[in-house]
Structure 1
Amino acid sequence: MNPVCNLITDEERKIISNLKNNSKLNFDKAIAHEFLERKGKYLEIIEDDVDLNEMLVKKPEYSFLIKVKGDSMINCGIDNADTLLVDCSLEPKHGDIVVASINGKILVKKLNFSYRETMLLSENEDYMPIKVGSGDKFDIWGVAIMVIKDRTL
């Protein structure tokens, strides 16, 4: 398990726990069925209330959300203002999208391991790769497991 998980304070864990109590979505199934019938769409309607924590967060004690700032990852579907669900219990692997800290700067990048070096890659050709040197203070906080997009107007 990634030692950075231990950086989550007891107070932050309490906030996360309180959020869990408000995570159920209650759907009006009759409205959903009527809407889909009018549109001629025949999809399966989820009949039960949905607890988003149970559905999305497999290890809540090792998970956190982070808001993305910038456009360095747009070519892999991560846009400015997206929210990432990050699991810090996963062992980061080559090719994973990670939240990392290098010399005090927090980044979302694609992890690239080779036998000689570690690099952090952007998914936007406007940004150069970042080579992690032996003198750099480098930590991987966790692996991004989901992108949450806000498409409300």
Structure 2
Amino acid sequence: MLKEFREFISRGNVIDLAVGIIIGAAFTGIVNSLVNDVLMPPLGFIMGGIDFSSYFINLSGGDYASLKAAQDAGATTINYGLFVNAVIKFFIVSVSVFILVKQVNRLHRREQAKPSAPPAQEVLLREIRDLLRDGAPPRVIPAADSRTV
């Protein structure tokens, strides 16, 4: 079982997946900072000082000045402002992944566009065609005797 596990872990796909997860986790931190620290403050300013993360609907019936105060009091809330932030983060990640996949596909198309060496049969047929076109006398190959089996 240890041998099988070692073979599984040493496959290239598993290592690539691990690297992807690590980079994805780091990318998540960058996206969170981009949304929370760069995009949301100007958007909130444009919309009259709105901080989306503080928008919530209180289902408990009390009156709370902020989402943190409601959560500290144990109130049941619908945090639609945090949902708006999550949608914006998702949009940024999805656009980034789209651009990444588009670039990778473009690189693969370039690799596929490079002509590969023709098969040996095609090379031989081209040589025959060129010899016939240049007027080289045909070589006669004796046919096998039909009586021999």
TM bracket, shorter-chain basis: under 0.3
Larger relative contact order (CA 8 Å, sep ≥ 6) = 1
TM-score, length of structure 1 as denominator length: 0.27
TM score, norm. by length of structure 2: 0.28
Larger fraction in strand: 1
The structure where helix makes up a greater share of residues is 2
Q: Larger Rg: 1 or 2?
A: 2
